[in-house]
Chains A and B, each alone.
Chain A
Amino acid sequence: MPSDPEPAPPPAPVPTGVKRRKRKPLDWSTAGIGIMVVAAATTVYLRDGSERFFDIFYHDLRLFLDVLLKVAAGCLIGAFLARLLPREMVGKWIGAESGVLGLFIATILGAILPGGPITIYPVASALLFVGADIGATVAFITSWTLLGYTRALVWEIPFFGIDYVMWRTILSLPLPVLAGVLARVIAPIVTKRWGEAP
């Protein structure tokens, strides 16, 4: 799932996930969440009183402390793996001639490659650029989004519990390949209607 770190949009696309861009200290997504939280907290304070307000605060602070170490681990895994994965081989595995096998390989790649959109989207663009086909690229992004384990471990389990996350993951297993097949069907139609560019 997009779940993962989702900082401010980077100023320019960079084909590999190794070099990081500077991020803006504040982005609109964070600002939006901030406004929502402040409004909700104010409502709770005015409607339910300060006792309930602090009850929720301490409970969520505990949840935050529980999540901290996992987030740190997720960030380190992403940083190391981005440096260790042999990116040039990727194009070979999931190129235009890769067929259904390419979709499966792309799905596995997406599931094991950790990191946020800041690493995944540039990698996806790079894959397309070096010759991966559109179906495999879509399967890759979908798999990272729905099956990425760091996201599930770090973010989803603390909120939903293991049972729910396990079932959601199992039910999502076939979806990246399906999205890849759909993308291969849609791509020629889109190209015919709107052309190859942009």
Chain B
Amino acid sequence: MTVYIVEALLWILVAGLGLAAAVKGRILFREGAREGITDFLRLLPKVLLGVVGSGYVAAVMPADITAQYLGPDSGFLGVGIAILAGAFTPGGPVVGFSIGAAAIKSGAGAPQVMAYVTAWALFAVQRFFLWELPIMPARLVWIRALASLPLPFLVAGAAMFLGKP
């Protein structure tokens, strides 16, 4: 049920923004729609690979080792391992999410997986070199990296403290 609400919400937003663009000008609307659709088509193969592939990655992930090192009882050592793993997971739209979801299925704890996903999102090493340094000033990239370092620990710590989710 909630899935449909999310879906509806997204398309209401699309309709609203499309309308706002159309009011501002026909060309603006046409350009926006064309770019959105082109982006979607370009992403399709990557999404297919990431989503369809994630099941296999989950299947080969050794459940006993995952549970031992990242399980709910692994504490802050598990969080540390998860953060290191997140930093060295390749970027891309779904890799981190699919590996994180696979880890939960094989017995990893929620705080550890949150730390993993947050670290991957904030400082996947490969993303620095492929994405950030070519586009942004190096000073910004490295200051942001340093400022991000404590964040996965804080998320995991808060999740452990609250016992949620």
Binding site for B on A (CB under 8 A): 1-7, 9-10, 13, 20, 23, 27-30, 32-34, 36-37, 40-41, 43-44, 48, 52, 56-57, 59-61, 63-64, 66-84, 116-117, 121-122, 124-125, 128, 134, 137-138, 141-142, 145-146, 150, 153-160, 162-164, 166-168, 171-172, 175, 178-180, 182-183, 186-187, 190-191, 196-198
Contact = CB atoms under 8 A, between A and B. Distances in A.
B71 to A, nearest CB: 16
B65 interface: no
B94 A155 contact: yes
A190 B57 contact: no
A59 B55 contact: yes
B154 interface: yes
B97 A160 contact: yes
Label chain A's interface by main secondary structure.
helix
Given A7-B43, A33-B92, A187-B139, 11 more contacts: A6-B131, A63-B51, A75-B40, A75-B43, A76-B40, A77-B10, A83-B28, A122-B135, A150-B10, A155-B97, A159-B101
A124 B97 contact: no
A122 B134 CA distance: 10
Given A157-B6, A163-B165, A44 B17 contact: no
A141 B144 contact: yes
B59 A83 contact: no
Interface residues of B, number: 88
B93 to A, nearest CB: 5
Given A1-B117, A175-B151, A183 B143 contact: yes
Interface in B24-61: 24, 28, 31-33, 35-37, 39-40, 42-57, 59-60
B131 A40 contact: no
Nearest to A73: B10
Contacts of A78: 36, 39
Contacts of B18: 76, 80
B13 to A, nearest CB: 6
Contacts of A5: 39, 42-43, 46, 93
Contacts of B13: 73, 77
